[in-house]
């Protein structure tokens, strides 16, 4: 809050003047648990976590024996996804909250002769290609089952949209930006049909163009670059319109950024002991994840203010190494803050989900309104709670009897009194830590 807010209230013979000044509260680092997403076959030598949907559907791939794509949820665990018969190497690159998964099926682990595929209810099918195209990839899918990716390869690669399921259609994104740039690969699409990816500049082939394409208006724009850089790569867009990626000078080392149409591009601070990096996933709160580099690959979380190494947020002794190897990553974050990526678990390459721990303290001063279901409050101590305490002053107990803290998870002394009133005033605008 800015400035000072004052309110005088007279009721029941009590005059209360509340003054709430501008206060800054330093947030504690978020806490996470971490789980292994599992493995399909004992012969697999590794598992990679590649993305997570808004609602927490994680996807990725295994390599070694099965070479399959998979999806994962907290409630259902790992679900192997079948390979497309003529393409025995698959990767699931994106999913929506209805468990529609898209990805790429290839002839080799390295992606030779790829086809875009979709898994619906666990059944795999190729996505249609634009007329004249024979290879392609699918990288993401939104709630309307519109997928994005690319077709062709090398200097001829073009971004594409796949509309509908296997029986739908596909079209190249051929919009041209003001400077003549075009989109080469589409990496992400949100539920509003906004697509992000990378493009090429016809005037400077060495420059990466970070692209935003509005499929509703057929308009292609560029996100720009950080100071000292001339281009960017865009990897993901949230449903609220946040775009994340990396910005660099030509083909040089990148720095992670977050971009919105209103605020433009902001550099994401790097975690300690790293010198470069890229953000790869973002949610509608503007929390972003990515991987930074130095001597090792360091997955990170950015909460809009502070950047944390994911290793520092998980329990000590978990068996996970997310900071002392070159294989680790953080590639997606759900609306609820679930982070998905790859790390080393007990010496093996495994996909992980880092799941937020609910560390919110009790908020006994948030006693209004009565929600009608046995619960009280709306997540903040505010004027409603102040009035509730005043109106119940002298009553025996009740939801507004918040003082003292009895130290055993209970609060109050069975009377709403001056202690409870002062407790609300002291915690106005927040919940007590």
Q: What is the tens place of the pLDDT at every residue in 40-84? A: 999 999 999 999 999 999 999 999 999 999 999 999 999 999 999
- Give this prediction's pTM: 0.80
- Provide the pLDDT confidence category of residue 278 given band limits of 50, 70 and 90: very high
* Residue 17 confidence (pLDDT) above 80: no
Query: Which among 40, 32, 82 has a CA at the least distance from the CA of 350?
Result: 40
pLDDT reported for residue 12 = 39
Phi first, then psi: what are they for 385, rounded to 5°?
-70, -40
Q: Which DSSP symbol is given to 376?
A: B
- Provide the pLDDT confidence category of residue 430 given band limits of 50, 70 and 90: confident
* Residue 202 confidence (pLDDT) above 70: yes
Give the mean pLDDT of 136-150: 98
316 SS3 class? coil
DSSP secondary structure of 193-229: -EEEEEEEETTEEEEEEEEEEETTTTEEEE----TT-
Distance of CA 28 to the CA centre of its chain: 19
pLDDT reported for residue 362 = 74
Query: Which among 82, 144, 79 has a CA at the least distance from the CA of 119?
Result: 82
Q: Which DSSP symbol is given to 28?
A: P
Q: Quick one: CA torsion of 52, 54, 55, 61, rounded to 10 degrees?
A: -10
Beta bridge partners of 160: 149, 172
Residue 173: which residues within 8 A CB-CB, separation 6 or more?
158, 159, 160, 161, 182, 183, 186, 195, 213, 215, 220
Interval 208-233: pLDDT, tens: 999 999 999 999 999 999 999 999 99
Structure tokens at 12: 């029941």
Tokens 């609060």 belong to 411
Give the mean pLDDT of 306-328: 97
Q: How far apart are CA 195 and CA 347, in angstroms?
A: 37
Tokens 């909460």 belong to 303
Q: At what angle do helices 418-426 and 383-391 cross, to 10 degrees?
A: 180
Give the mean pLDDT of 254-266: 97
* Residue 103 confidence (pLDDT) above 90: yes
Give the mean pLDDT of 168-178: 95
Rounded to the nearest integer, the mean pLDDT of the chain is 91
């Amino acid at each position: 809050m800015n400035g000072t807010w004052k309110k005088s209230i007279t009721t029941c013979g009590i005059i209360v003047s509340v003054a709430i000044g501008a206060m800054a509260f330093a947030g504690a680092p978020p806490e996470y648990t971490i789980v292994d997403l599992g493995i399909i076959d004992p012969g697999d030598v590794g598992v990679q976590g590649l993305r997570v949907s808004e609602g927490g559907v994680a996807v990725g791939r295994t390599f070694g024996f099965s070479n399959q794509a998979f999806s994962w949820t907290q409630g259902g665990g790992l679900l192997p996804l079948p390979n497309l018969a003529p393409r025995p190497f698959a990767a699931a690159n994106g999913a929506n909250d209805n468990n529609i998964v898209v990805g790429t099926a290839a002839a080799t682990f390295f992606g030779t002769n790829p086809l875009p595929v979709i898994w619906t209810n666990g059944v795999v099918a190729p996505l249609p290609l634009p007329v004249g195209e024979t290879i392609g990839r699918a990288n993401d899918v939104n709630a309307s089952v519109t997928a994005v990716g690319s077709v062709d390869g090398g200097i001829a690669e073009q971004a594409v949209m796949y509309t509908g399921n296997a029986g739908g259609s596909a079209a190249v994104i051929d919009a041209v930006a003001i400077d003549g740039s075009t989109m080469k690969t589409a990496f992400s699409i949100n539920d509003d049909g906004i697509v992000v990816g990378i493009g090429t500049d016809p005037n400077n082939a060495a420059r990466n163009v970070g692209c935003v394409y509005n499929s509703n208006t057929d308009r292609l724009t560029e996100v720009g670059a950080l100071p000292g850089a001339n281009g960017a790569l865009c990897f993901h867009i949230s449903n609220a319109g946040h775009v994340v990626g990396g910005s660099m000078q030509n083909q040089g080392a990148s720095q992670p950024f977050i971009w919105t149409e209103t605020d433009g591009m902001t550099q994401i601070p790097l975690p300690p002991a790293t010198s470069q990096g890229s953000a790869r996933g973002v949610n509608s709160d503007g929390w972003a994840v990515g991987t930074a580099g130095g001597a090792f690959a360091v997955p990170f979380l950015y909460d809009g203010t502070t950047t944390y190494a994911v290793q520092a947020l998980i329990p000590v002794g978990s068996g996970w190494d997310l900071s002392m190897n070159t294989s680790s990553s953080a590639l997606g974050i759900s609306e609820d803050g679930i982070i998905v990526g790859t790390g080393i678990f007990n010496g093996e390459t495994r996909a992980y989900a880092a799941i937020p721990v609910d560390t919110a303290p009790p908020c006994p001063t948030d006693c209004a309104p009565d929600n009608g279901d046995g619960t009280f409050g709306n997540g903040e101590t505010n004027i409603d709670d102040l009035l509730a305490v005043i109106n119940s002053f002298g009553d025996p107990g009740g939801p507004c009897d918040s003082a003292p803290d009895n130290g055993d998870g209970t609060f109050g002394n069975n009377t709403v009194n001056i202690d409870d009133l002062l407790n609300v005033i002291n915690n106005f605008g927040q919940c007590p830590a």
